[in-house]
Amino acid sequence: MTIVNYTPTNDSNTLYIQYTSSLSDLITQIREHFGPDISFDDITITPEYIHTRCLTYDCYDRSDYDNYLVIRRI
């Protein structure tokens, strides 16, 4: 059995951030990804608990999940 891992992929409308040290760092990452003119009225920020490790191995092991902030352009 092959154990498969997963890393969420950013695209032009979605940014996944697993770690950030401050609000200033978060804002910097958002502006770097979406451009310096992005308005905070044009994005949503939600937490997601994403299964990233051992996808084909077991049903639920909480150490196989990671917390992400998911920023989406609306």
User: pLDDT band at 21, cuts 50/70/90?
Assistant: confident
Q: Write down the pTM of the prediction.
A: 0.86
- Does residue 2 or residue 66 have the better pLDDT? 66
Residues whose CB is less than 8 angstroms from the CB of residue 45 and which lie 6 or more positions away in sequence, other chains included? 69, 70, 71
Percentage of the chain modeled with pLDDT above 70: 96
Look up tokens 């996944």; give the residue. 16
39, two tokens: 């308005």
Question: What beta strand segments (E) does the chain contain?
Answer: 14-17, 43-51, 65-73
